[in-house]
Structure 1
């Protein structure tokens, strides 16, 4: 009923249970074109939008021309240097709190934001340039898609739905970046608050305003686009696991309705292999995004605490606090998007547990007992270390960690209020 499944050569053999390793040569330039990657093809519009903003460039695909590759890579490098410059020029204000009296929290907020953007822009520049970065992730996901028979298991999410999500992400990024620029203009030109001077320091001329707005636009675009790019990748991987889970559920229904004495041997082995291969894709994606998540957790969460304090207890009328309120909403939204999508992906990966537990060893055991070791391997992977996106490999983001982060944020905000 399910058709023939093409087995991937790097997985466990059904008869001998021997593992044949797949050799990866990262020393050579990829011979695969961008069009061969389903994930790249579906997200290419948003990645092109990121390239225009100077926060992304194509990994070393075979069909990327030298001039095209050099242009986007150079533009990404320039924006990376501007992000370093933007943080370094603000360092004197961190060490001279008496220069602008009463702005200690603003200095902490601005320095954390500049440092966050600098870290993720540089990290993405390195990951786009390395053979073991985004290129390795794209190629591994492509191998997963090519290793199964599309007549049996659907592995590529629908292009129409993904296209809608990409368009929505682009629209929100543009709107939020424009809003951030408008807030900066209002603060600089209308209210003339010291915040503008601290952002432009040590230059407060008209020319410095132009420089500040230019860099601020690029930084704000990076801040928003990386968040939505991460969410789009999470949703794509989550859909792939979901499609695999649906096939597994159909197999369970066949068995539980008594249409077969045992589960479909070939399909069960294939699903286990594809789940393992897809988990490896998540691991390679985590190598690219772990620094981004570390930056979010180490800078954005403290930023939320100080922004909430500024909104509630800083002097000034509501017109001056509007910028802080807007910034607080943007930061809360970005942190929630990143952590929730990472937790949902982890949950989708390990939700196979409930389905596999519905099968006993005897339900997977034909006369030759070949499926029992595979059944145990599947359970071991699902019950083993959590698979998903991590904070620099230190802790994997799941639902429990999500609750911990929320509790930690409220706890430290309460302590900050009590110290006041």
Structure 2
């Protein structure tokens, strides 16, 4: 059943979708004539849903989805064919491998006795990071059994790329989106390669002061002389761990970029919808509906990323605190080379938190930017009531619940959130510095 909104109009404005007359020339008890009521269907059920592979937005993100599929983090088909079952088994094996790696690192902390402080903190950092990677892989595996990806892309194609959307220059710029996807994918691959190499160097690197210490930490609780198969599985797991950490962020970045771009283009249309004196020259109702469709796209994207954002920020922020503690307080026995690796991981995690927070905040600001144009609209004494109603409804949407990706449907990613995170980290840094 299509969701409907009733607007009172004295004249008919041609709109895409269904327009039906509910009442015409109705006479009240006092003999006056009532305005005509027009029912406008926001959802156009006559437009068939397209398969994912036919949607331009989805096809533009193929490089990311393909790499995620290779690493067991994504599968398009929800059927139960032999190929699909094989992909499910592969994804399940990846999830089990990553959780096994986390349990191994956690067991190493509890089974070892008399661990030096610097080694203990390093093991905690590794365990928290492995937990985050395992959680990301589990979420991606679970998402393949839901229709959230399909719902997001199909809604965007059906309502944000409608005939009216294209008439007001909101068509998808496939060339720009593919270029952005390729850039994000290349950066992700470079980081995965760098982080994997750094992990191997950390494990097998020549630390003269404490030989074989890092290898012992890497293999713990297994002995360094364990079977070669165990070492191979642990090494492979680090590649999958890094991929599970970075690719959800890459997908989040590209989708936020595209939605922000759509909102900015719509804001340009809203600015052009008023003359220099603030008089409305276009049907603001249709623009408001187009904005509502984009808001729903943000809601569908939130269903995909809200838990991933929770894991990303909920575990990365403690990691930043531990790494700062390592650099500032803990006296490392590994020398300058190990300190360089720690600084690299600190910068990588800070960059990850910054990307998620920044692009989430940009999307929120783009979605609410229309409120500045709405204040420029002139409401004169002769303005029709339905136009005043359109402006009021639009402004109520802008001033209401934040239109943003949230942390587990609780905390929206906004500029205020970024400032709060920075304030917490600065406060922690100041407290740690006092302990030196």
TM-score (norm 1): 0.87
By relative contact order (CA 8 Å, sep 6+), the higher-ranking structure is 1
Partner SS, residue 165 of structure 1: helix
**Distance across 1 between alignment mates of 2:18 and 2:137:** 37
From 190, 202, 213, give the equivalent of 1:194: 213
Aligned to 2:137: 121
Task: Please identify the structure whose Cα radius of gyration is greater.
Answer: 2
Aligned to 1:239: 261
From 310, 317, 320, give the equivalent of 1:304: 320
Partner SS, residue 16 of structure 1: strand
1:343 aligns with 2:358: no
Instruction: Return 149-158 or 238-247, whichever deviates more.
Output: 149-158
Aligned to 1:80: 95
1:263 aligns with 2:272: no
- In structure 2, relative to structure 1, the CA distance for the partners of 1:15 and 1:380 (3 Å cut) is farther
**Distance across 2 between alignment mates of 1:343 and 1:231:** 12
1:70 aligns with 2:85: yes
Partner SS, residue 370 of structure 1: helix
**Distance across 2 between alignment mates of 1:247 and 1:364:** 24
Aligned to 1:228: 250
**Distance across 2 between alignment mates of 1:135 and 1:284:** 10
**Distance across 1 between alignment mates of 2:77 and 2:388:** 42
Question: Could you list the runs of 5+ residues in structure 1 that have no partner in the other structure?
Answer: 25-29
User: What CA deviation, in whole Å up to 9, does each residue of 1:347-404 have, x standing for no partner?
Assistant: 00001110111113339934xx222222111100000011101110111010011010
- In structure 2, relative to structure 1, the CA distance for the partners of 1:20 and 1:71 (3 Å cut) is same
Question: Could you list the runs of 5+ residues in structure 2 that have no partner in the other structure?
Answer: 1-12, 23-34
- In structure 2, relative to structure 1, the CA distance for the partners of 1:265 and 1:249 (3 Å cut) is closer
Partner SS, residue 89 of structure 1: helix
**Distance across 1 between alignment mates of 2:215 and 2:237:** 13
Shift of 1:99: 5.1
For the 8 Å contact 1:263–1:363, the answer to whether it is kept is: no
For the 8 Å contact 1:187–1:195, the answer to whether it is kept is: yes
- In structure 2, relative to structure 1, the CA distance for the partners of 1:150 and 1:397 (3 Å cut) is closer
Q: CA RMSD in A?
A: 2.8
Aligned to 1:161: 176
Aligned to 1:218: 240
Aligned to 1:27: none
Partner SS, residue 129 of structure 1: coil
Aligned to 2:62: 44
**Distance across 2 between alignment mates of 1:146 and 1:202:** 55
**Distance across 1 between alignment mates of 2:382 and 2:325:** 58
Instruction: Return 171-180 or 377-386, whichever deviates more.
Output: 171-180
1:139 aligns with 2:154: yes
TM-score (norm 2): 0.84
**Distance across 2 between alignment mates of 1:197 and 1:19:** 68
**Distance across 2 between alignment mates of 1:327 and 1:299:** 14
Instruction: Return 233-242 or 318-327, whichever deviates more.
Output: 318-327
Partner SS, residue 154 of structure 1: coil
Give structure 1 regions of 4+ aligned residues with deviation exceeding 6 angstroms.
Answer: none
Aligned to 2:120: 104
**Distance across 2 between alignment mates of 1:251 and 1:418:** 57
Higher strand share: 2
